[in-house]
């Protein structure tokens, strides 16, 4: 890797390195976070339908660490963290939205739609590069996946 890679280049390299390692363990790579000059590298993993254990996180951390030591893609010191994406996990790909169809979500888009950038509702369908969000008033809106800046599952607390 070049002498001063950008954060985006480092993230791409880590995804390329970590995805097959996670797959060998039956895990899915959800996301990677790194800020240039930062002191952390965060890798988020999941096991669809089951979640992840501490053993999954520590096992993958050891494997990624060994690969990073060998290839040395990050020029400065950092701390590696491997964890679950949490209850409010980010949604990045069409597959993420399909997997969590019906679940509550908050979506922020880059270009306003009807003067609005933020939409809160439930995930509907995904078709042709668009995701349908069913809003609280039961109206729905189709948002282009390419314009989604940030999307996270919302945590629903049930009243007992």
Which DSSP category does 120 fall into? E
**How far is the CA of 97 from the CAs of 35, 73, 131, 133, 153, in angstroms?**
26, 31, 7, 10, 10
The whole-number pLDDT of residue 4 equals: 76
Separation between Cα atoms, residue 33 and residue 10, nearest integer Å: 10
The pLDDT value recorded for residue 138 is 82
Q: Whole-model pTM?
A: 0.75
Q: How many CB atoms are located within 10 Å of the residue 52 CB?
A: 21
Residue segments in the chain with a per-residue pLDDT below the cut of 70: 1-3, 159-160
pLDDT at 2: 54
Give the pLDDT score at 102.
92
Q: Which domains does the chain have, with CATH numbers?
A: 7-83 (3.30.300.70), 94-153 (2.30.30.520)
| Residues near 106 by beta carbon (within 8 Å), at least 6 away in sequence | 118, 119, 120, 151, 152, 154
**Residue 160 has what pLDDT?**
65
């Amino acid at each position: 890797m070049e002498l001063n890679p950008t954060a985006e280049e480092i993230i791409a390299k880590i995804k390329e390195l970590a995805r097959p390692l996670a797959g060998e363990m039956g895990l899915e790579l959800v996301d990677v976070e790194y800020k240039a000059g930062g002191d952390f590298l965060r890798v988020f993993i999941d096991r669809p339908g089951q979640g992840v254990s501490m053993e999954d996180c520590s096992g993958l951390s050891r494997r990624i660490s060994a690969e990073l030591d060998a290839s040395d893609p990050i020029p400065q010191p950092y701390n590696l963290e491997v964890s679950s994406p949490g209850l409010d996990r980010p949604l990045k790909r069409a597959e993420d939205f399909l997997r969590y169809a019906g679940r509550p979500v908050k979506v922020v888009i880059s270009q306003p739609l009807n003067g609005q950038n933020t939409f809160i509702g439930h995930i509907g369908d995904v078709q042709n590069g668009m995701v349908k969000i069913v809003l609280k008033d039961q109206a729905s809106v189709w948002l282009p996946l390419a314009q989604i800046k940030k999307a996270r599952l919302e945590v629903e607390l049930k009243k007992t």
